[in-house]
Chains A and B, each alone.
Chain A
Amino acid sequence: MLASLIGGFLIIITGIVHQHEALIAVDWNVIFFLIGMMLVISVLKKTGVFMYLAIKTAKVANGKPLMIMILMFLVTAILSAFLGSVTTVMILVPIVLLISGELKISPIPFIITMVIASNMGGAATMVGDPPNILIGSATDYQFLDFLFNLTPPVVIITISSIVLIKIIYRKQMRVSNENRARLMSYREATLIKDRKLLVRSSIVLLLMLIALSMQGILKLETATVSMSAGLFLLLISDRKKVESVLTNDIDWMTIFFFIGLFMLVESLVQTGFIDITAQRIVAATKGQPMMASMMILWLSGIFSAIIDNVPFVAAMIPMVQKMGELMNNTNAMHPIWWSLALGTCLGGNGTLIGASANIVAVGIANRNGFHISFKQFTIIGAIFTLNSLVISTLYILIRYF
């Protein structure tokens, strides 16, 4: 994280980019959108509703491991679509560690499948995954555009992934009745401490989603919507804790990472690197939108697996914009943008380091003595990624061409 900020200023010191240009390159809409979301989530988290959901899920599954895994997969995907993949993983992985500890089974399959679910769910909406947030802010696409174009393929991919889970994990995991009984004795109702705050913050969250869907009419940018919701929730919750929320609950490391990243990408633009790459891709695909979409989808899918998908998409955005200029056909650009979104978000599942959620989840598992190796993750991740990219390919081809 620090490397990005150091890099951001290094390009200024070395004279590659003027400070003024580097600072203007920072997309403050993204930065404040992230801060607003972090505020909303910090208040929602305090209501205990996420933990309630997770424990309730395990109990609804009757403590049966495969069922818990499938339901957790769904819950993770849905929560990620609205809260973001990283946050969801941070909230749910500790609970899965607790549940698997009680059931005396390995948490690793659960963690791996949940990470995969979080990247899938995140791909479905504009606010779900960092790559989509970046694309949404850089383009004219709005919340509803993402919903109409990306949610359908993600729903299909999620359903097919559940089938995959059943095939891969059906024979594993036995749980004794004694351990299951202990899980069933959890009193999840006690987790909701402040009902009033829960109702209020749910209403605010709902209003925020409505405002995002009506962006076109309201003429409000995403950062304004999320900051309004975040600040309002901060006001109606415990006001004595405002300072602690601002210092501890906002993930400043992520914020600074993004700031540095924008500056670094600006240096790629300024040096002409982006222009040259864009020209090459347009030349290679002979300016055909279908070829270009497929190339972007699979290249993004593969690259996002090998390197973190956030810096990748940050560099791809100016390139796709340049491609749009070169191809000079606005309609032809739609499938290319959606290919980029699907490719980067879903490609993040390819390896252990493909997306931020993967790194965060594996980090938590490691700290608790469960070591997930690169190979262990990649074997499972690659299967799901391949499945996702094949479905995305079919979707793009059928829907747009």
Chain B
Amino acid sequence: MLLASFLDPRLIYYEKRILTKEQVYHEMIKKICAHNTIPIPQDELYQLLMERDRESSTAYSTGIAIPHIRLSGFEDTVIGMCWLNNPIDYNGQEVSWIVLIISDKTSSKLYLNIVAALLKVSKDDALMPVLRHEHDGHGVLFALKKAEIKVKENLTIGDIMIRDVMRILPTASLREIGSVFNEKGYSVLPVTDEGGRYLGEVNILNLLKVGIPDYLMMIGNLDFLQNYEPLEQLFEDEDRVLVKQIMSTDNETVSSDASIIEAVFEMIQNNKRSICVVDHGKLVGMVTAMDIFRKIIKA
């Protein structure tokens, strides 16, 4: 199935004015309701949309936002599209292409496949400028048809991963990794060499473990200790200990064309909340369980 087959040229338009997200959403809903029979009134639709947006961001790093409403008994999928001349800020992510999808509660597989197709388009450096310079829905439809964008590919990890992940060198000191964790609020970072080759991961527990020697782990029950000096001394070692001494190197990774289920499986299996995405030995991104939950399950 072609992506174009799901689209209605009347619901695709270009917005030249400077508008807020709320104004754009109102406009899009108005267009959708004018050409389709939606079982609930416009303002209720708008409320649902805003609620979904408040739950978690619908924006992706490629500048597309895909807000989504599920209605029970709707039994159809309607897609509205708005190209923005003036990008809107979605909690720090600039969005210049909003695609609003209204679908039935049960058709989540089709929905995910449409999202996959849209994300693929949003990453396509050749197609995107063409779409952006069209003037109306017919042009967009024609360009998508010509590029043969299909809706059957499954969503892959590459579609939902975070691409510009921060990384750290194995030669960084504890102080450096500590301040990254502290300032950015991260609890895990991939470790790569200068060429971006994936070497392992370092997480907040690796860091804390520096203050707990091996023999304490063997004792097993530390109730009798009220304070423990080595943990306090951890910060004296900050410049001496390097990331490569504490990082873990036996983590599972996935490739960017891995399926969502594969990544979820690895995370559950290894009791981890994130997994590095590695293609041909190079780190290309990272995906967290929360990303998968928000973008797939709660989408």
**Chain A residues within CB distance 8 Å of chain B:** 45, 48, 51, 55, 90, 93-95, 97-98, 101-102, 182, 185-188, 190-191, 193, 364, 367-369
Q: Write the nearest CB–CB distance from B220 to chain A, whole angstroms.
A: 8
Nearest B residue to A102, CB-CB:
B229
Given known pairs A51-B219, A94-B215, A94-B218, the reply for A187 and B230 (CB within 8 Å) is no
Chain B: residues with Cβ within 8 Å of the partner, total of 14
Binary A-proximity of B221-260 (CB < 8 A = 1, otherwise 0): 1011110011000000000000000000000000000000
Tell me whether A364 and B218 are in contact (CB under 8 A): yes
List of 4 A-B pairs having minimum Cβ-Cβ separation, nearest first = A94-B215, A97-B215, A94-B218, A190-B223
Nearest B residue to A95, CB-CB:
B219
Tell me whether B226 and A187 are in contact (CB under 8 A): yes
Nearest B residue to A189, CB-CB:
B224
Which residues of chain B are near A101, meaning CB under 8 Å? 213, 229-230
Which residues of chain B are near A369, meaning CB under 8 Å? 213
Tell me whether B213 and A190 are in contact (CB under 8 A): no
**Chain B residues within CB distance 8 Å of chain A:** 213-216, 218-221, 223-226, 229-230
Tell me whether A367 and B214 are in contact (CB under 8 A): yes
Q: Write the nearest CB–CB distance from B267 to chain A, whole angstroms.
A: 22
Tell me whether B224 and A55 are in contact (CB under 8 A): yes
Tell me whether A186 and B224 are in contact (CB under 8 A): yes
In Å, the complex CA distance between A90 and B220 comes to 12
* Neighbour of A51 across the interface among B213, B221, B230, CB < 8 A: B221
Nearest B residue to A366, CB-CB:
B214
Which residues of chain A are near B213, meaning CB under 8 Å? 97, 101, 368-369
Tell me whether A368 and B221 are in contact (CB under 8 A): no
Nearest B residue to A93, CB-CB:
B215
Tell me whether A186 and B214 are in contact (CB under 8 A): no
Given A45-B220, A51-B219, A364-B214; 7 other pairs, CB 8 A cutoff: A51-B224, A55-B224, A94-B216, A94-B219, A190-B224, A191-B221, A364-B218
Nearest A residue to B213, CB-CB:
A368
Tell me whether B223 and A368 are in contact (CB under 8 A): no
A-B residue pairs in contact (CB < 8 Å), sample of 15:
A94-B215, A94-B219, A97-B215, A98-B215, A98-B216, A101-B229, A102-B229, A186-B224, A188-B224, A191-B221, A191-B223, A193-B223, A364-B214, A368-B214, A369-B213
Q: Write the nearest CB–CB distance from B233 to chain A, whole angstroms.
A: 10
In Å, the complex CA distance between A190 and B229 comes to 20
Which residues of chain A are near B221, meaning CB under 8 Å? 48, 51, 191, 193
In Å, the complex CA distance between A367 and B212 comes to 13
In Å, the complex CA distance between A188 and B221 comes to 11
In Å, the complex CA distance between A43 and B24 comes to 66
Tell me whether B219 and A186 are in contact (CB under 8 A): no
Which residues of chain A are near B218, meaning CB under 8 Å? 90, 94, 364
* Neighbour of B224 across the interface among A97, A191, A367, CB < 8 A: A191
* Neighbour of A187 across the interface among B216, B219, B224, CB < 8 A: B224
In Å, the complex CA distance between A247 and B155 comes to 39
Which residues of chain A are near B219, meaning CB under 8 Å? 51, 94-95, 98
